[in-house]
Amino acid sequence: MLATDNLIFQTTFSSSEEIRVKESAFTSGVYSKRNVAIVRGQGARLWDADGKEYIDCVGGQGAGNIGHANPAVAEAIYKQAMTIISCPEMFYNDQRALLEEKLCGITGMARVFLCNSGTEAVEAGIKFAKLLTGRTGIVAAMRGFHGRTYGALSATWEKKYRAPFEPLVPNYSHIPYNDLDALKQAVTDQTAAVILEVVQGEGGVNPGKADFLKGAQDICHQNGALLIIDEVQTGFGRTGKMFAHQHYGLQPDILCLAKSIGGGIPMGAALLSANMKELPSAVHGSTFGGNPLACAASLAAINFIEENQLPEHAAELGDWFKDQLATIQSPLIREVRGKGLMVGIELKQKVTPYLQKLMENGVMALPAGLTVMRFLPPLVITQSELEIVVAKVREVLTSNTEGCE
């Protein structure tokens, strides 16, 4: 095993501020950034360039389920990098063969297309649905988030992501999430697919209702449309099962994965169920898709998740965490909700200042929409770390609450 405690850590910068100034001078500007430079991580802990320690409930925005500097994945990456990194899919590869078998084993799906991000997984899923059905309509949900390339963006709801880039791809429609009647109305014999998250992430940590999700599957079957489940954020143990759709016994026709799939290495996948016809060759592809480095990292990450029973851990700890947060008495809180270690606190006002205060208090969390404080800790987080998180959240949401009713 390689060093596990960042023994080789070094940076040429002397402070967070120095890094911020340099990065600000050269970055595109499309990201709204926090005033902190993170240079190191370990499990569920982060350190900035000034040496300040944080408990991480951002979890790489969902890409960090196995924890930072995970030695099993670090070792797999190192070994694969010393063996072969570039091997496009015009050749077969040992790591890719093993990973595709593994992904099918843990999902019950039959075939895998590998890519490099969530939006690419959704893009592939939508293209495959059009190919497989010969139809063009896509039905998605309001407040859904599926990525930012054109096909995926067209399924994404939030206006601020869409408006600057219109016109988007035609024949998309959006129904209110958890509204089965609206979905019934929207799905026709022109519908290629319905695309849904099992728990809406970006849209505010909104868990799907069992009736809605199962009903969506039935509606798809009745109309010859495909069900695309987007588990880019909910996958790999996050909600207390390896995949969130397994809570409801759903059988997606197409399953989109990314974020934590590669143990932190960029990767995505669109999986097809056994009832799907084989795809014609050369209709889609990606230079980096299925590269052996990402495949080796992914295999090690999935093995780590299984061996350490991270889904079970997320289920138990998530319930406990949600209960603890629910004990916080604050006029700011509208609702605490979530599934497993995907948890949100909806506030009655904008969340950004409270996230800032939380960060100053040593806890990193992220927003979901304008008013929801979202927690996506690495699934290796311990109960004592989460106890600190609860205490800090309590502090931040119960002091300085003047001005709220």
Ligand X SMILES: *Cc1c(COP(=O)(O)O)cnc(C)c1O
Number of residues this chain uses to bind ligand X (CB under 6 A):
14
Token digits for 387? Answer: 């106890």
Residues 6+ apart with CB under 8 A from 186: 139, 173, 175
Query: Applying CB under 6 A, which part among 18-26, 142-150, 218-226, 370-378 lies near ligand X?
Result: 142-150
The burial of 384, by beta-carbon neighbours within 10 Å (0-12 exposed, 13-18 middle, 19 or more buried), is given as exposed
Binding of residue 147 to ligand X (CB under 6 A): yes
Binding of residue 146 to ligand X (CB under 6 A): yes
Binding of residue 177 to ligand X (CB under 6 A): no
Binding of residue 233 to ligand X (CB under 6 A): yes
The DSSP result for 289-314, as a single string, is: TT-HHHHHHHHHHHHHHHHTTHHHHH
Among 74, 175, 232, 325, binds ligand X (CB under 6 A): 232
CA distances from 212 to 86, 171, 215, 232 (A): 43, 22, 5, 20
Binding of residue 239 to ligand X (CB under 6 A): no
Binding string to ligand X for residues 247 to 266, with x set by CB under 6 A, is what? Answer: -----------x--------
Q: What angle do CA 161, 217, 133 make, to 5 degrees?
A: 75
Token digits for 131? Answer: 């190919």
Binding of residue 344 to ligand X (CB under 6 A): no
Binding string to ligand X for residues 195 to 214, with x set by CB under 6 A, is what? Answer: --x---xx------------
Q: Least Å distance between CB 383 and ligand X?
A: 26
Which residue number, 258 or 310, has a Cβ lying nearer to ligand X?
A: 258
Which residue number, 41 or 201, has a Cβ lying nearer to ligand X?
A: 201
Binding of residue 298 to ligand X (CB under 6 A): no
Which residue number, 65 or 233, has a Cβ lying nearer to ligand X?
A: 233
Binding of residue 118 to ligand X (CB under 6 A): yes
- Residue 91 contacts residue 84 (beta carbons within 8 Å): no
- Residue 190 contacts residue 135 (beta carbons within 8 Å): yes
Binding of residue 230 to ligand X (CB under 6 A): yes
Distance, CA of 385 to CA of 240 (rounded, Å):
18
Among 76, 122, 196, 254, binds ligand X (CB under 6 A): 122
Which residue number, 196 or 363, has a Cβ lying nearer to ligand X?
A: 196
Distance, CA of 56 to CA of 66 (rounded, Å):
12
Nearest residue to ligand X, scored by beta-carbon proximity: 118
Of 119, 106, 157, 379, which is closest to residue 258 (Cα–Cα)? 119
Of 3, 136, 124, 168, which is closest to residue 75 (Cα–Cα)? 3
Q: Least Å distance between CB 92 and ligand X?
A: 26
What residues make contact with ligand X under the rule CB under 6 A? 117-119, 122, 145-147, 197, 201-202, 230, 232-233, 258
